[in-house]
Structure 1
Amino acid sequence: MIADCSALILAGGLSTRMGVDKTSLEFEGQTLLQRAIDRMRDIFPEVIVSVRAHRNDVDLPQVVDETVGGGPVAGMCSGLAASRTPWLFAIAADMPYADQATIIRLAQYRSDDFQAIIPVVNGHPQPLFGFYRTEALPIFRSVLAGNGKRSLRSALSQLQVHWVDEALLRPGDPELRSFTDLDTPADLDLIRKD
């Protein structure tokens, strides 16, 4: 259990490329959202679900985006504001292979010197599989309210970030499957064939 950290499952996306609500898709007998909830409950004392509108099928605390159309930044703002712990682990609901050991390994890189701990896989930052200090909320709110791009990358550019190379995460997840996300029906078909 990572006692000083809450988990935020981002489940408020529009799923436009998938064509249906991704979080309701079934994989290995569970919806993607329930799969994420079960995995996060095992390692965090508090689990929050970020949604566009309240969902009756979720029995956990829910936060609704502070700004309509604000994307993941809006979800992060609501989650950081609701968290009762100094750290928040943010994860997208469409990552069916999120490995608990990999999350725990990533948590070891947290320190007072950083506001975010973000893995870099195949040269790409993975902000929706990362740890954030709740004190970073004002920066996220500034990005959300600004006239510029409302992106997680924009927020990260203003934070003190510890970038964690994929090589440090491979011991527990050799193929880095934790970072597989599902954006299209083809992505879903591919993992169902595995």
Structure 2
Amino acid sequence: MTVETLPLVSTLGVILAGGRSSRMGVDKSTLQLSGASFLEQAIKRFSELGISNYVISSNRIDGALTDRLPQIGPLGALDALMHRADRLVGVDSIVVVPIDMPLFPADGIKQLCEYGNEKQTSCYYQNHPMPFFIWLDACFAQILTKQIDAGILSVRALLEKLSAKELKYVNDQQRQNSFFNVNTPEQMQQIQSWLQN
């Protein structure tokens, strides 16, 4: 599917690939689907949107952004990013996509970016805290630090603190399966069977 390229030079893409993959048994970023790894597919979706500036959050992938604070999930990736000023030059927003949602389409990311950049606000999809878009206003780093210090590590709680807008998901293709998470070999088999039908 071809998606119209957006002028997203000031939006940084973040690929969350730092999970332990304990239930899967292998690093999920290396899983193959339709001839490409999950990581390759995530990078391709950003490329389709004109997002050439991206980081991979992982403690296992060479050159990736590593956590300063271990084992606190997606907020750990955001914390690490906020402490890398070199990666934030010219950046006013970030869009965060987990590695284990391989069916989430580029146009779904596009909707988040278009709304978030136009309104200069954080946003996500109704009933689905991931993927999500963060507008990097002056308060973001402080709010993130307070959440981590309080031990409140859920993405949904962070989005609520940011007064993020909840958007309706509009996508005709793979509507039912876009948000499907692959965490186990059985879920990998399920997703492969969907693509074969």
How much does 1:176 deviate?
4.5
SS of the counterpart of 1:94?
A: coil
Q: Are 1:91 and 1:130, in contact at CA under 8 Å, matched by a contact in 2?
A: yes
Cα separation, 1, equivalents of 2:118 and 2:40: 32
Aligned residue number for residue 182 of structure 2:
182
Cα separation, 2, equivalents of 1:36 and 1:45: 12
Cα separation, 1, equivalents of 2:88 and 2:173: 28
Cα separation, 1, equivalents of 2:176 and 2:93: 23
- 1:21-69, CA deviations, whole angstroms, 9 ceiling, x for partnerless residues? 111111111111111112212321301111124x23xxxx631112011
Residues 176 and 88 of structure 1, relative CA distance in 2, 3 Å threshold: farther
Q: Which of 113, 118, 124 is residue 107 of structure 1 equivalent to?
A: 113
Q: Are 2:30 and 2:39, in contact at CA under 8 Å, matched by a contact in 1?
A: yes
Aligned residue number for residue 83 of structure 1:
88
Aligned residue number for residue 27 of structure 1:
33
Runs of 4+ in 1 over 4 A off after TM superposition: 111-114
Q: Are 2:93 and 2:117, in contact at CA under 8 Å, matched by a contact in 1?
A: no
The yes-or-no answer on 1:152 pairing with 2:155 is yes
SS of the counterpart of 1:64?
A: coil
- 1:96-129, CA deviations, whole angstroms, 9 ceiling, x for partnerless residues? 1221122212222225766411101xxx2x2321
Residues 130 and 176 of structure 1, relative CA distance in 2, 3 Å threshold: farther
Aligned residue number for residue 17 of structure 1:
23
How much does 1:144 deviate?
1.7
TM-score by length of 1: 0.83
Aligned residue number for residue 46 of structure 1:
53
TM-score by length of 2: 0.82
The yes-or-no answer on 1:8 pairing with 2:10 is no
SS of the counterpart of 2:94?
A: strand
Q: Are 1:116 and 1:159, in contact at CA under 8 Å, matched by a contact in 2?
A: yes
Cα separation, 2, equivalents of 1:142 and 1:188: 36
Residue identity matched to 1:36: A
Unaligned runs of 5+ in 1: none
Larger % of strand: which? Answer: 1
Q: Are 2:112 and 2:123, in contact at CA under 8 Å, matched by a contact in 1?
A: yes
